Amino acid sequence: MGGPRQRCVLGALLVHVGREVTIDQLTGYLWNEDPPRTARSVIQVQVSHLRRLLPGRIATTSGGYVLEVDPESVDLHRFRRLRDEAARADSAEAIEFLDLALKCWRGIPFSGVGSDYLDDSVVRPIREERWSAVISWASHALELERHSDVVARLTSLSSEEPFSERLHEFLITALWKASGRAKALSVYEDFRRRLADELGVDPGHELLSLHSRILHEDVSPQGDVDPVEESVPDFRIRNDLPRDLPDFTGRGEALKNLEDFSLGDDGRAKICVITDSGGAGKTTTAVHFGYEIADRYPDGQIFIDLYGYTSNKEPLDPASALGSLLRAVGIEPEAVPESLAERSALWRATLRGRRVLLILDNAFSHAQVSPLLPSSSGTLTLITTRNELVGLSGARFLSLGMFDDDSSLELLRLILGDARVDSELEGAREVARFCGGLPLALRVIAGRMAGRPKWTFAHVIRRLVEQNRTFRELAVEGQSVEVAIDLSFQSLNPTQRRAFLLLGLMVGNVIELSGAAALFDTSVEDADDTLQELVGVCLLEEPQEDVYRAHDLIRAFALDRALAEFGHEEADRIKVRLSGFYLETAQRAAELLGPRVQERSEVSFSRYRVELSSRREAEDWFSLHQENLADAIEYFASRDHGEEAWRLADAVWRFYAVRGQMGLLVTSHERVLQISERQGNRRGRAVTLIGLGIAYYISGRFEESLRLLGEARTILEGLGDGRGVIRALANLGMVYERMGRFADSAAAIKEVLRYAEELRNPKVEALQWGNLAVLQQSLGEYKEALASAERAILISQGEQEGEIRARAKRVMGEAHTCLGNMDSAFQELDEAMELSSHLQLVGNRIYVHNSRGIAHRAAGRFDEAVREHGRALALAETSGDRSGDAEILTDLGVTQVEAARYEEAREGLDRALELAVERGERYIEARASLALGGIPGPFVDPGRARDLLAESVRIFEDLDLPEAEAARRRLQTLDAEPGPDVAPAF
């Protein structure tokens, strides 16, 4: 069998044996709703392969294909026949049929292949058939009192269906009958806890009823006597926990951490502080966990609200809190001491030797909770707070974080029902994203929708995004996201408040210390202190060292208050100051990434600077701020700061290109192009066209790239901008080379070199000597390529030297391979890879992997060669740099032909040829055609091979390349081609 696609197509035909499977069905099974343009061709290729395996079995219909085989030879259809036989038999015979039917199952159908649509429409229904048969078998087995058989089979199967109540009901029943109630109750408890932890639900009526019957078997009529109550009658055992939410979900990891912590035994009282912002679900998590472990704390589960962040209430002072706690456990009011110290001592003494769970909810400070903490080793105290409670030694700290997308959707499902969410799944996801995973926000939205069954998620989204309406929509009676945030805001001092409001105006999603100093207009040291204070009260997060962000809703709150406090005019000045800081820093960072043609803007926006001294530091800065920079470009453009917008876009293009951030590169430049055109800024337009041209080149859109770069060149020549013309020509040379227009490429590169020498710009010279080396290597001028690459290294200097050297060493490795100097080839390529990895030159790494593949092929090591080609393709896919895909696929195909792997070679070369034609890569088109035409007759039809070779001759002649002669010879000898066991020569 072939790969996943071939297995998927075969599986679909087997499921529908004797019935038509349409092309549309197969397309959905393979690719969901987003098939490639070549979907039909891919399916035809897979069916062609299958016909070789199953000759005469697959017929073509008007709409698709039919597989004709005996259904008894297909496990699924044999299973169904045996299951149907069992349905007509008595228990003794039925169980035999079902045993045989279930033996047909040897794994999950379609495992590792196909799409979500295949899973939903085919795989799940088939798996349901299996579980239905298992349940039928278990029912018959219990009727025949084969309890041990049921235990043996269902124990192993229960791990595959961990939430199936029916399956567990049969298993627990069998365990009860076979082994007694202890084991049955243990399995029940494991299942109940799994339902609660993972789904937030209780077992159904049937399982609860079974559990009750097991529990009441042989119960002593006297019942149990609580030893604590008998020995200490004045201690009042109580459960003060608030109601556990029936739709609790999404905190599996937090509950596991709490569980692990609570089970530890170090001989001391256990304290865990649960922190996060208002509305994160701290209280509901603590209460839910309290119910889960209540049986471990038989002396009481005590809950007290300390009102740390409660509207219209002052935080409860510790003396008052202790008075309430002491009276709660049975201390008479007149016996409660007056002083805080005495109350605290009595509280600790009262709990000594007891197993008590204490939840201190909504704590405000360390000073408030410290006197309330028990000292007995049998106690567990859970503290919920928005504050860090610095100084609370010996405590475990647990930050909840926000819900992920799955947990957010699960909460909506539990409140609104699966049908309502599934009917508008994308809308539900958008609402979940809008809420940012904040449980309170999700609950408020779901609560409003539950009371308004006509509301759709689309309607909710429209209401949420309306100006000044967000927080009104996130409020119902007794619950308000805005109030929850405001309670934290009101606790801030004036300096903290101002900083918090300024963060509402920040450009981008994160901010680091220097950016914060520019935003706050203060020193870096003072900014650091203030940011840490805001983290301490859970209004800000610190996802990595000295990098900060706010939850979307907290930031929306800050923005609303900031606009009210500062006004729109002042708010704009603040945003310009921060965006200008990003512009200045980005321009300095860009100079460390490679040669720049445009002069840096002389306008100063901020007195703060980020000191960058190396390429690595520049890349790290760009990596951290890439989203912020895109937002700054958008902000400049939206405020008609066109000059700043195009200069910032020009500063970031190289980083976006190197890291494969094509989406950010294209969207930022397209936005800048709009403002440059509207303002008549010709230089801004030309520079932006170059950036877009580079983006289209990397994406493989070569014709569009040529058009944009040519327009840019014309504009810059009209402006007399020699530096700009250099840049346009340099990139034109690169695109020409990829398209096989080598003469045009050489002319462009030589013109750039002339300009660079006139301007005395060694950085540009070094870069272009490297480009010339690439071109000479493509033309077969290997010694000249070596000389040009060495000259590029010699001229390069400073931060640029590493990148130039990495690219030049790659070309030198390729040239040595072609000259047969294999030791030198691998040495140069190894150095190129080491430098490229160190400098994070993803594009160069892709080509070095491919060049290593060519070198291994030349050395006769075909397996290593194929692996290196594969690594090149994989890295291209993950990075988004697809400019070399057709070339790499062609080189992989040539390697596979030389290794006599003709089937794989043909498939890969077909893909390469299709891609090259689509992109206008004529040189690669000719190479792929030559390689395909040289594959032996049984794998490529001789007529097609002749057409391919003729086309390769024509293209090579058009391009005036020496490969034309090899293609002509191959065409002339086609009729005398050796058999499939002999590899053709290239």
User: Where do the DSSP E strands lie in 92-155?
Assistant: none
SS3 for 429? helix
d(CA 400, CA 250) in angstroms, rounded, equals 10
The pLDDT score that the predictor gives to residue 808 is 93
The pLDDT score that the predictor gives to residue 984 is 39
The pLDDT score that the predictor gives to residue 788 is 92
The pLDDT score that the predictor gives to residue 610 is 78
CA-nearest of 336, 332, 311, 257 to 489 is 311
Decide: 808 and 771 in contact? Cβ < 8 Å.
no
**What are the residue ranges in the chain where pLDDT is below 50?**
218-233, 979-986
DSSP characters over 658-672: HTT-HHHHHHHHHHH
Quote the tokens at residue 745: 């490429």
The pLDDT score that the predictor gives to residue 475 is 62
Instruction: Spell 829-865 as b/e; 16+ CB within 10 A means b.
Output: bebbbebbeebebbbbbbbbbbbbbbbbbbeebbebb
Cα–Cα–Cα angle for 212, 216, 217, rounded to 5 degrees: 120
- β 479-480/475-476 pair status: antiparallel
The pLDDT score that the predictor gives to residue 676 is 92
CA-nearest of 672, 653, 665 to 593 is 653
Element (H, E) at 399: strand 396-399
d(CA 155, CA 797) in angstroms, rounded, equals 69
d(CA 312, CA 486) in angstroms, rounded, equals 12
The pLDDT score that the predictor gives to residue 127 is 83
Decide: 515 and 576 in contact? Cβ < 8 Å.
no
d(CA 204, CA 212) in angstroms, rounded, equals 12
For residue 168, give every residue at least 6 positions away whose Cβ sits within 8 Å of its Cβ, in sequence order, or none.
158, 187, 188, 191, 207
**Rg of the chain over all Cα atoms, to the nearest angstrom:** 36
For residue 653, give every residue at least 6 positions away whose Cβ sits within 8 Å of its Cβ, in sequence order, or none.
665, 669, 691, 694, 695
d(CA 960, CA 947) in angstroms, rounded, equals 20
Dihedral sign of CA atoms 152, 155, 159, 164 in order? positive
The pLDDT score that the predictor gives to residue 225 is 31
In this prediction the pTM is: 0.53
The pLDDT score that the predictor gives to residue 219 is 33
CA-nearest of 400, 328, 330 to 358 is 328
Q: Which residues partner with 549 through β-bridges?
A: 541
